[in-house]
A and B are shown apart, each in its own frame.
Chain A
Amino acid sequence: MTPRDVEVAGLRVHLNERGEGAPMVVLHHSTGPLWTPFHDALAEQYAVTAIDLPGFAQSERPEDARSPRDLGILTLQAIDALELDEFHLVGLGFGGWVAAEIATMAGRRLSALTLVGAAGVKPREGAGFIHDPVTAGFVEYVRLGFHDGEAFDAFFGAEPSKDMIDLWDYSREMTARVTWKPWMWSLVLPTLLRGVTVPAQVIWGAEDAVVPLDCGEQYAEILPNGHLEVIDGAGHLVELERPEAVARLVTGFAPVAS
């Protein structure tokens, strides 16, 4: 993929691009941006732009940002700078929350919205909580994202590199700057999403131990044109455990532009 920077609100926003076709913007998890086989699979059919959310990895920190919506606004400005008038927006985990916020602001610009294990809505009574990682280690948290521990080892190695730990560490700090109380959900987001008519696909690992499947069911119920796809035998990081299956759902969801 090709790295690139754009300037937004005086801040450097870093992104990676690959592929040709209709534009697709992919937003990463709270653990930070990674270009993965899932991205490669998408790039076979789309012009994929993976943005380091403001404050994450190589994108400069907006010091006063206090919510994922703030990051969504800046990300939308970055997309403006890229002159993407219409795009398929894909959000993973925490990035799904940011994507949902963007959809509430710029619905008419989205050709489609895909939320994968997205945070942002509160699990209903009896469905548990969105997992709180702050009193546990970075490795432990990412491991929890896999249904299959061996899949973690295969992807990150049994002992992840220091660079990877650093990414998780710094990303956790940035995440904690924009969501804390409440942790990983917004009271108002469901209300705002009810007016988002963009075709929306919600994809969830059936064994997600980070964001309860109930949140996926809620997204599918709230979004007027939304539906839910559940992938068996996969956890929160479903796009790492089943990259091809998830990519197939994403690319099959909206017609590929000529």
Chain B
Amino acid sequence: MFVGYFTERPYQDPGAEWYDRYTAMQDLALSNGVIDPVKQADLYHRYFDEKQYIEKMGFDGVMLNSHHSTPFCMGGGPMNVEAGILSRITEKLKIILLGNVLPIWEDPLWLVEELGMIDVLSRGRLVSGFVRGTGRESIAHNSQSPYNWERFQEAHDFIIKAWTDPGPFRWEGKHYQYRYVNPWVRPYSQPHPQVWIPGIMSKSTIDWACAHRYPYVMLDSQLELTAQTFDYYRSQAKENGYEAGPQHLGYMFKIHVDETEEKAYETGRKLIEGAGNLFLDGSNGEANPWAQNLPGLNQRKQSNYLPTSQFLHVKRSRGVNLEGEELDFTEAPAPTPEEREFRRKQIFDGLLDRYAVIVGTPETVAKKVRHVLETLRPGNIIFWHGDGDFSHEDTMRGIRLMGEELLPQIRDMAKELDLPGAFEVDPATNQRVGEATPMPVG
């Protein structure tokens, strides 16, 4: 079992008008003029401190993501910079990037070089996830949305070739062309860093991930729908001639462990408050549906969508119309503070009911995590914690309790349930790591 840790590194500003728990943040509507660089410096330092602590407390990896031009993720542009810093200030953690938004890069050779350096500096600890990005990423870097999927695939093929084939070589692709490819860095991981692919919406991404034998990581959603999606991965793996095991499946969910149930509930609520991820159910904000449904960005056929895409919030955030009906974005009348509080609580309780968020003491959380592991059988799980409105103290307390009391129980469960992670059984070969024939270098 691989256990990772994730936070989106939100820009927190308690007290600011835009930040209030009951103010629904509108995607793309907030000016960066509200940023206080001094506060931001403190936050960047804090998040690095927390990552060093998760290593100390026994996590296997730290995951970073990349959303651009938004307060809910300060790793938009700088994700690879963060990864570079982590390569130097941590020693054992795998650095999981989920991921670089390939289509928005005009020059993916930069990625070959940056990611190569991160893998070398960390001595092979990079997991290089790749994503297509939400609409906001295409807007932020002005990438032509109809070619998003083509560019994703070509940039990927180019990066893998540049990592694995000795240069120099020439690349004359449809979207990328190079006279001379000969980057002066080669991955420490051979033949190249593991590639993980996150997703929640489209079958074509799973089909593609399966064809490359890349582990697929799902974000918190309803367990049953996630299970159906994992079944789809397994069936596609068979189509591609291999058996998908737990090593191919990842699941990320929000979690908080605290000293009492009450404290866990009240603190856990903060995961969906503050500058939370606009794209996920329970977030305190609205994604701009048109930005998420940029021209040609999403496939139109309903059959391309995964069971997990049926969540209203996911659909709305993508502006996708699955039933052939127009989405109604009419504003409801402003609720009273009591109504807002009631509604926010109701949303959180709903997330708890369907295991999209798990909170409690180590004992109760362990039982719930066991239920998740039994239902989904992932070999890789990622705890989404310390996000939204979490303070540093909340985060450190939770990490400590997870490390001291929860992780040992999860390790035992994983052994009992036979859930090997992607670094115990190689997803590319299905061989136990250590048993595989070493790849020749050069």
Task: Name A's B-contacting residues (CB within 8 A).
Answer: 134-137, 162, 165, 172-173, 175-177, 180-181
A136–B290 touching, CB < 8 Å: yes
Sorting the interface of chain B by its residue count into under 10, 10 to 19, 20 to 34 or 35 or more gives: 10 to 19
Which of B92-100, B140-148, B230-238 lies at the interface with chain A?
B140-148
Q: Indicate if B288 sits at the interface (CB-CB under 8 A).
A: yes
Cα distance A182–B324 when bound, in Å? Answer: 32
Find chain B residues with CB under 8 A from A135 CB. Answer: 28, 139, 288, 290-291
A181–B142 touching, CB < 8 Å: yes
Can you list 13 A-B contacts (CB < 8 A)?
Answer: A134-B139, A134-B290, A135-B290, A135-B291, A137-B290, A162-B326, A172-B295, A176-B295, A176-B296, A177-B144, A177-B146, A180-B142, A180-B144
B290–A181 touching, CB < 8 Å: no
Cα distance A181–B139 when bound, in Å? Answer: 11
Find chain A residues with CB under 8 A from B290 CB. Answer: 134-137
- Interface pairs A-B: 5 shortest CB-CB: A176-B295, A180-B144, A173-B295, A173-B296, A135-B291
Find chain A residues with CB under 8 A from B139 CB. Answer: 134-135
B295–A175 touching, CB < 8 Å: yes
Q: Indicate if B111 sits at the interface (CB-CB under 8 A).
A: no
Q: Indicate if B24 sits at the interface (CB-CB under 8 A).
A: no
Closest CB of chain A to B138's CB: distance in Å?
9
Cα distance A175–B139 when bound, in Å? Answer: 16
Cα distance A180–B297 when bound, in Å? Answer: 13
Closest CB of chain A to B355's CB: distance in Å?
34
A176–B294 touching, CB < 8 Å: yes
Task: Name B's A-contacting residues (CB within 8 A).
Answer: 28, 139, 142, 144-147, 288-291, 294-296, 324, 326
Can you add 17 more A-B contacts, CB < 8 Å, to A134-B290, A162-B326? A134-B139, A135-B139, A135-B291, A136-B290, A162-B324, A165-B326, A173-B295, A176-B145, A176-B146, A176-B295, A176-B296, A177-B144, A177-B295, A180-B142, A180-B144, A180-B145, A181-B142
Closest to B136 in A: A135
Cα distance A180–B142 when bound, in Å? Answer: 8
Closest CB of chain A to B137's CB: distance in Å?
13
B146–A173 touching, CB < 8 Å: yes
A176–B288 touching, CB < 8 Å: no
* Set A165, A177, A181: member contacting B296, Cβ < 8 A: A177
Cα distance A174–B147 when bound, in Å? Answer: 11
The interface centre, meaning the residue of A135, A137, A162, A165 with most chain B CB atoms within 10 A of its CB, is: A135
Find chain B residues with CB under 8 A from A176 CB. Answer: 144-146, 294-296
Closest CB of chain A to B150's CB: distance in Å?
10
Closest to B288 in A: A135
Closest CB of chain B to A54's CB: distance in Å?
15
B142–A134 touching, CB < 8 Å: no
Cα distance A180–B291 when bound, in Å? Answer: 14
Find chain B residues with CB under 8 A from A173 CB. Answer: 146, 295-296
Given contacts A162-B326, A165-B326, contact A134 B294 (CB under 8 A): yes
Closest CB of chain A to B172's CB: distance in Å?
15
Cα distance A132–B151 when bound, in Å? Answer: 23
Closest to A133 in B: B290
Find chain A residues with CB under 8 A from B146 CB. Answer: 173, 176-177
Closest CB of chain A to B318's CB: distance in Å?
14
Cα distance A134–B291 when bound, in Å? Answer: 7
B28–A181 touching, CB < 8 Å: no
B295–A181 touching, CB < 8 Å: no
Find chain B residues with CB under 8 A from A137 CB. Answer: 289-290
Closest CB of chain B to A64's CB: distance in Å?
9
Find chain B residues with CB under 8 A from A180 CB. Answer: 142, 144-145
Closest CB of chain B to A204's CB: distance in Å?
26
Find chain A residues with CB under 8 A from B295 CB. Answer: 134, 172-173, 175-177
Closest CB of chain B to A205's CB: distance in Å?
25
Find chain B residues with CB under 8 A from A134 CB. Answer: 139, 145, 290-291, 294-295
Closest CB of chain A to B149's CB: distance in Å?
13
Closest CB of chain B to A69's CB: distance in Å?
16
Cα distance A172–B297 when bound, in Å? Answer: 12
Find chain A residues with CB under 8 A from B296 CB. Answer: 173, 176-177
Cα distance A173–B144 when bound, in Å? Answer: 10
